């Protein structure tokens, strides 16, 4: 009977000891588990390869880790599997202890396998009582001799909905050739990826090209005709990822995995995603989690959803936030044991069935921001769920050290959120979206962040023009918003510490000593009213020559900035600063424009909602994107026919 390997024991392909807690660890340091969250000792392995381990005599190793525990709850919930077979090829002397956990993070030893000869050991485990969460895993303890685990696999004889699934990996890149080639190299070295790979399509939208990178020839030699690089104008993430979707639909793949260019990958996750997607009872988007590129054991994004109340994306309640597996073991962290189901997955790594793409279309032409979350909502409306699958992940630069809502991307944050709400909000006028938007505008104005308000105003003005503007302007919108932003002083960033004059005020006390920082809501409302009133008073003349204060980013909130006539404010990552200057005239102009636009958006919401919904199939459809991407549809159709007639799945 044909079997399918669902998951196997692995170790990192990178020579980075910091990653070991994601693969193996020792005993829990706090023996009161499971009542107390605890860290684990470092794993003590005599040696290991990518898929095997030697445990020295007397040593104990746990594989209750992110990449090696088996996420039973997800297999129970989304696939027809009701049992799974654990198969171990081992030799030497020792014990393999089989554990399971519940959604409450209670852990139970359910079987002990005595290893006393060179051979295969297996046990069939029920996928029961996993409705709300829970994992399976093994621990291993060597006896008086070394214990060798040659292979540990989780297998099934259940046939998947799709047999021998094939994937296209679509990487969108813009001027990151070194990072992109590094990721390609990681994929090229993986036997698991090779089993499911149809093609890797790199969509290069920059002027520092991937094919010119020093190590590209070696990667190309390894991947051969499995690697294809397409160059096109910069159409943002949505344009690049749509090209990956398009090519996957043309080349006969079952799935496309959308992948950022600036990631490090655990290549095994690509095969796991493909097998899981093929086993799901219906078409399912399968996403990967995100770990921090800077702190490799820190889980930054787990399961996420768009809230209908606020129409804003974020982690679903009860899921771990910035969880460090080097400090807090999976075994003793309840939040990791819950079944966590969101309604979208970020496109840092996200697998979409090509059947779904053909049914609901490709990305909205958003350029960047909200394309992934909107697609997840659109898919859900068409009966396609999203699963962020544990054990499938990449490392990516986290957004905790940046705030792109204050730079040129503020336009896309505002426009695309509102467009997505017009199409998918279930509440009248987007629920709290518009009140939150007007409040945000006021806070930016009180902070003298005039460029941000100007971009957000433009975003609403463009929305009011209708959906046609998105395709028409996707290739030109970035220069346009950058030009608009550049008209305001808060957008003039300088990196040198002495780029601006020293702070000075015409008073005996510095601004730092006289600032008010109220916490009560009523007091903050009073501060907002005071800040508004100040814009009928001219700024102090001295504030035009000298900033009144240097403000670190952590303090750069409206309650502080509204009390200043000027300030040098650091950006979020500390790389530069801008000189904010209060300007009553600009304040009033932008406020009046913002109020006018928000009133019109509120008044026209039902009409615009109907218009954007009606245009969705055309805007996301093949013909519209072929025009935007500059693709000859007839030639593409002929090429697709050729691919289908010559491709054979192994």
Of 160, 154, 72, 150, whose CA–CA distance to 390 is shortest? Answer: 72
Enumerate the β-bridge partners of residue 305.
314
132 labelled catalytic: no
**SS3 label, residue 424:** helix
Residues forming beta bridges with residue 292, ordered by sequence position: 396
Catalytic residue selected from 372, 407, 490, 583: 372
Q: Which two tokens stand for residue 264?
A: 């490090």
- Token pair in block for residue 409: 């991307």
Q: What string of DSSP letters covers 228-267? A: EEEE----HHHHHHHHHHHHHHHTT-SEEEEEESSEEE-T
Alpha carbons 177 and 171: distance in angstroms, whole number = 11
* Contact by Cβ (8 Å): 252, 647: yes
Measured on CA atoms in the order 283, 67, 31, 85, is the torsion positive or negative? Answer: positive
Residues 6+ away with beta carbon under 8 Å from 540: 505, 506, 548, 565
349 φ, ψ to 5°? -160, 110
Q: How many CA atoms lie within 13 A of 217 on its CB side?
A: 2
**What are the DSSP calls for 168-220, one per residue?**
EEEEEESS-HHHHHHHHHHHHT-HHHHHHEEEEEEEE-SSS-GGGSTTHHHHH
3-class SS at 340? coil
H helices of 474-548, in order, are: 477-485, 511-514, 521-534, 542-545
Catalytic residue numbers read 372
């Amino acid at each position: 009977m044909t079997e399918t390997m669902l998951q196997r024991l692995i170790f990192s392909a990178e020579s980075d000891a910091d990653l070991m807690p994601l693969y193996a660890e020792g005993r829990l340091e706090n023996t009161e588990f499971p009542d107390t969250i605890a860290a684990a000792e470092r794993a003590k392995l005599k040696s290991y390869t990518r898929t095997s381990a030697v445990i020295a005599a007397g040593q104990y190793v746990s594989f209750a880790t992110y990449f090696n525990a088996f996420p039973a709850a997800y297999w129970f919930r989304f696939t027809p599997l009701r049992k799974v077979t654990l198969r171990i090829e081992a030799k030497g002397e020792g014990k393999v202890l089989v554990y399971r956990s519940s959604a409450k993070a209670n852990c139970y030893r359910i079987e002990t396998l005595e290893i006393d000869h060179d051979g295969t050991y297996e046990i069939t485990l029920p996928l029961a009582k996993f409705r709300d969460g829970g994992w399976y895993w093994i621990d291993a303890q060597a006896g008086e001799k070394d214990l060798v685990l040659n292979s540990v696999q989780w297998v099934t004889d259940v046939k998947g909905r799709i047999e021998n699934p094939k994937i296209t990996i679509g990487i969108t890149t813009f001027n990151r050739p070194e990072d992109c080639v590094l990721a390609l190299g990681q994929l090229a070295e993986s036997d698991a990826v090779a089993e499911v790979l149809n093609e890797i399509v790199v969509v290069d939208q920059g002027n520092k090209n991937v094919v010119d990178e020093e190590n590209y020839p070696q990667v190309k030699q390894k991947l051969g005709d499995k690697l294809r690089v397409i160059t096109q104008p910069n159409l943002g993430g949505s344009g690049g990822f749509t090209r990956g979707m398009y090519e996957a639909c043309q080349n006969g793949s079952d799935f496309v995995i959308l992948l950022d260019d600036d990631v490090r990958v655990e290549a095994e996750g690509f095969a796991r995603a493909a097998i899981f997607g093929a086993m799901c009872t219906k078409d399912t988007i399968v996403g990967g989690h995100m770990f921090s590129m800077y702190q490799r054991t820190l889980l930054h994004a787990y399961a996420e959803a768009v809230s209908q109340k606020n129409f804003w994306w974020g982690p679903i309640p009860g899921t771990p936030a910035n969880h460090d597996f080097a400090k807090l073991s999976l075994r003793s962290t309840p939040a990791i044991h819950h079944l966590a189901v969101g309604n979208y997955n970020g496109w840092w790594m996200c697998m979409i069935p090509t059947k779904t793409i053909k049914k609901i279309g490709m990305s909205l032409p958003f350029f960047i921001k909200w394309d992934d979350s909107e697609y997840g909502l659109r898919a859900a409306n068409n009966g396609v769920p999203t699963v962020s699958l544990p054990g499938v992940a990449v490392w990516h630069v986290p957004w905790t050290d940046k705030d792109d809502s204050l730079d040129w991307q503020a336009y896309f944050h505002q426009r695309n959120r509102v467009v997505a709400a017009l199409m998918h909000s279930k509440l009248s006028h987007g629920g709290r979206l518009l009140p939150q938007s007007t409040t945000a505008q006021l806070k930016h104005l009180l902070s003298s962040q005039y460029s941000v308000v100007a971009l957000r105003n433009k975003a609403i003005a463009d929305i009011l023009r209708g959906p046609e503007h998105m395709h028409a302007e996707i290739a030109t919108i970035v220069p346009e918003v950058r030009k608009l932003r550049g008209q305001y002083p808060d957008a003039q960033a300088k990196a040198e510490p002495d780029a601006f004059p020293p702070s000075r005020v015409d008073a005996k006390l510095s601004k730092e000593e006289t600032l008010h920082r109220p916490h009560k809501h009523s007091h903050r409302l009073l501060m907002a009213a005071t800040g508004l009133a100040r814009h009928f008073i001219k700024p102090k003349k001295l504030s035009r020559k000298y900033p009144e204060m240097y403000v670190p980013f952590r303090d750069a909130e409206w309650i502080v900035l509204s009390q200043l006539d000027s300030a040098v404010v650091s950006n979020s990552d500390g790389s530069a600063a801008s000189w904010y200057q209060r300007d009553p005239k600009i304040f009033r102009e932008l406020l009046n424009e913002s109020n006018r636009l928000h009133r019109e958006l509120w008044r026209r919401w039902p009409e615009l909602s109907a218009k954007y919904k009606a245009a969705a199939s055309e805007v996301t459809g093949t013909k519209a994107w072929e025009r935007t991407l500059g693709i000859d549809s007839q030639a593409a159709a002929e090429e697709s026919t050729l691919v289908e007639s010559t491709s054979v799945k192994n």
